[in-house]
Amino acid sequence: MEYRSWGEAWNAAIKLSKGLDCPSCGWAWLGKPLEKYNSIVGFSTEIPFATRGLGGKAIVGIVIIECPSCFEKYSFHVDAPCIKCCQDYCDIWPK
């Protein structure tokens, strides 16, 4: 499948999370079922940070999040199954 970048573009000021949580305030992305998808403000096929993959799955890009708690933007790597969920549940993800 081919993926396209959209929304907020990655830049060096956007921190990479070591997991899925906000690196600035610790807001837990995974623990918020619907709020998490609506915090997505962009996706980039650019992979600006080195990665070894997610459990052996290929990384297809980064999701850019605007933390609803502290409003800082951050990103994390995503694989194809994660992108599918984001596409299905994020209201602003281009269909």
Contacts of 8 (CB under 8 A, 6+ apart): 14, 41, 42, 64, 66, 73
- The model's pTM is 0.87
Contacts of 44 (CB under 8 A, 6+ apart): 5, 9, 10, 61, 62, 64, 75
In a domain, 35, yes or no: yes
The chain-wide mean pLDDT, for the chain, equals 88
In a domain, 1, yes or no: no
In a domain, 22, yes or no: yes
Position 17 scores a pLDDT of: 92
In a domain, 95, yes or no: no
> Which residue positions in the chain have pLDDT lower than 70?
50-56
Position 56 scores a pLDDT of: 63
In a domain, 94, yes or no: no
* Structural domain span for residue 54: 6-89
Distance separating alpha carbons of residues 79 and 58, to the nearest angstrom: 6
In a domain, 31, yes or no: yes
Total number of domains constituting the chain: 1
pLDDT tens digit sequence for 13-26: 999 998 899 999 99
In a domain, 33, yes or no: yes
Distance separating alpha carbons of residues 67 and 58, to the nearest angstrom: 26
CA-based nearest residue to 62, from 50, 95, 92, 71: 50
């297809």: which residue's tokens? 60
